[in-house]
Amino acid sequence: MRLESYDQGQWVKCAGPASILTNAINGSFVAEISSQGLDFAEMLDYARRKGGPALRAMTFHQRAIALKELAKYLMERKEEFYALSAATGATRTDSWIDIEGGIGTFFTYSGKGRRELPNEPFYIDGDPEPLSRQGSFVGQHICVPLEGAAVHINAFNFPCWGMLEKLAPTLLAGMPAIIKPASQTAYLTELMFRRMIESEIFPEGSLQLICGSVGNLFDYLTCQDVVTFTGSATTGLKLKQHPAVLSNAVRFTMEADSLNCSILGPDAGPGSAEFDLYVREVAREMTVKAGQKCTAIRRALVPRQYADAVIGALRQQLDRVVVGDPANDAVTMGALASADQRTEVRQRIAALRHAGEQVYGDPDRVDAVDADAELGAFLGPQLLYCHEPLRHTLVHDIEAFGPVSTVMPYDSLDEALALSRQGQGSLVGSLFTGDDDVARDVVFGASAYHGRLVVINRDCAGESTGHGSPLPGLVHGGPGRAGGGEELGGVRSVLRYMQRTALQGSPTTLTKVTGKWLPAAARREDVVHPFRKHFEELEVGDALTTDTRKVTLEDVEHFAHFTGDTFYAHMDEEAARANPFFDGRVAHGYFIVSAAAGLFVDPDPGPVLANYGLDNLRFMQPVYFGDTLKVTLTCKQKTRRENENYGEVRWDTTVTNQHDKVVAQYDLLTMVANANKATRR
């Protein structure tokens, strides 16, 4: 079987010489791979011309719903992916991380897209910036999708998750993608990608696939394109220095394998819960995916007095590991992805031995259950010990990308922090401690060198996702040798595929452009109360100025006794005057909010279904007895809900006193029915 690329809406089987891909368990033939003959300039043009406009015509919510539908489609076919994943050497647990973990990223971004992004094709970034004394000239940042293509170059270790964790924010942002999987495991990527195309959920041109080399694709990159790369630092740096990337300032995100560390706190001695948790986590990170994880623990930093105990406990844990064919339920660790990968790991272990001794395992011998250890790419867990890690720099420079870790002792917490920095930038570090002071010292001593830090103790361990699990809502990346880039991180990653632009103009003009009412923009008042208007009838800028209400002593005392809020500033004149912010007794802030509602609410049944919250509430001036309140209510922003009979409306609510001074300001959030749907009660 020769893998096919998906090029400009067609599956293409490239001719010419091809590389052979083999089964990691038994060395048998799986597929051939080649991209010879593909026109990469045309692929990029097709993405920009066909996929880009179709995606940009959709809103964030529409793209988010499509992500969910695609995730469901893939999940219904997961067993097909599991069956082929076995050829990569993965156990069922390994495959679960790759397959269902990747699909779960689609589900997560779908939810975030609908909760945290507007139902618009663009994103308003932050609050408006006042630029003039009278407020007639303001600034507002927006983000719009880039008009190029995202080229995703992925690593071999996670053929599904690696593709999906990049695709989720890309598609949600409204940008088409060209996927280039690593050759060793591209057959699994190609199968999942084929199912994605078959689903026809995303518009044609949104997705293309290159099985094989990217050839001269980089020659045709422009300032509107994005490249993401996961793999070796050497290859990543070479691509990052491509003339087109440099001359066109192409956005390039690099995530390289790093020498991640895990620190055992000085308080976490043998017998403590944190000691046991640490040992289990190091052993787990060594053996999950046969150690082929960019986030795996390569350096185990432990107090010198506990080093022997840690090594002994790790030996016991590693003795329980069963290496072999994952088809056997007793097997807990499969093979490396290929024989070439095993050869490379063996060479790295030999180099590491110059800096320390091997205390567990033999890189040249392993017993494999139901498999031939040499025909398959099997390698057992390998544990090394470096007695003087500050002196031996090799252990901080060489990574064996397999089931390999090195124990390194430290004599003080400062020394542990120095060792953590020797990794020259890591994707993730972890700390196991029951001492929160130690946690604080490590967080502020190590964060600058790590993209993520995990602090684990007995209180959180039961629900912890562990050291090596990147999560959709948290950034995945790191400084220095980890690549200096970021992936994931929720909405943060979506915005990396968009252009942030600073708009300047009049508030009324920018309100029209963005669909969000800005202070000092035009307001429209008419005889119809805005709460009597259905969602489609409301326009941003529709407003109401209410009648007034005088605040009395009786109001404040009734509110105090009714609610139980008898704070002295509301009840004790002398104490209130002693407060530097007040000139006497003041009304409750929440009384002001309640009184404001009484002024602007239209009481009869109508389009407004519910008030679901307040945002940005601020009390600007104290309200005294005898003050008169008035409310200005303005439709600030509308968010249409896909497939629902209502929309969400944000109202700018400003409460002023008899001197036209603002005493309170907030955003009121309501759900408003559509005109053509029955109002639900």
What are the strands, taking DSSP E only, across 4-61? 5-7, 10-12, 19-22, 29-33
Distance CA 349, CA 354 (A): 9
Q: Does 294 participate in catalysis according to the annotation?
A: yes
Question: How many whole angstroms from its chain centre is CA 484?
Answer: 16
3-state secondary structure (DSSP) of residue 642: coil
Task: Match 């999560």 to its residue by tokens.
Answer: 471
CB 402 within 8 A of CB 24: no
Distance CA 612, CA 610 (A): 6
How do strand 150-153 and strand 177-180 relate by DSSP bridges?
parallel
CB 542 within 8 A of CB 530: yes
Distance CA 55, CA 52 (A): 5
Distance CA 533, CA 555 (A): 32
Distance CA 310, CA 496 (A): 42
Task: Match 């979506």 to its residue by tokens.
Answer: 494
Distance CA 603, CA 601 (A): 6
Q: Single out the residue of 667, 651, 633, 664 nearest to residue 551, CA to CA.
A: 664
Helix (H) or strand (E) run with residue 303 in it = strand 297-303
Q: Single out the residue of 64, 79, 45, 70 nearest to residue 115, CA to CA.
A: 64
Q: Single out the residue of 311, 310, 284 nearest to residue 295, CA to CA.
A: 284
Distance CA 68, CA 479 (A): 32
Query: What six digits make up the tokens of 105?
Result: 């990223």
- Catalytic site residue from 160, 211, 261, 294: 294
Distance CA 506, CA 500 (A): 19
Distance CA 515, CA 538 (A): 12
DSSP conformation letters of 324-359 = B-TTSTT--B---S-HHHHHHHHHHHHHHTTTSEEE
> What type of residue is 678?
A
3-state secondary structure (DSSP) of residue 108: helix
- The residues, any chain, with a CB within 8 Å of residue 181's CB and separated by 6 or more, are 154, 156, 159, 162, 163, 189, 190, 209, 211
Phi, psi of 238 (to 5 degrees): -65, -45
* Residues β-bridged to residue 619: 664
CB 428 within 8 A of CB 478: yes
3-state secondary structure (DSSP) of residue 230: strand
CB 424 within 8 A of CB 480: yes
* Residues β-bridged to residue 409: 302
- Catalytic site residue from 4, 32, 255, 285: 255
CB 35 within 8 A of CB 19: no
Q: Does 255 participate in catalysis according to the annotation?
A: yes
Distance CA 338, CA 376 (A): 8
* Residues β-bridged to residue 208: 178
List the end-to-end C-alpha distance of the chain, in Å, as a whole number. Answer: 60
DSSP conformation letters of 302-329 = EEGGGHHHHHHHHHHHHHT--BB-TTST
Q: Quick one: DSSP state of residue 239?
A: H
* Residues β-bridged to residue 485: 478
Q: Which residues are catalytic?
A: 255, 294
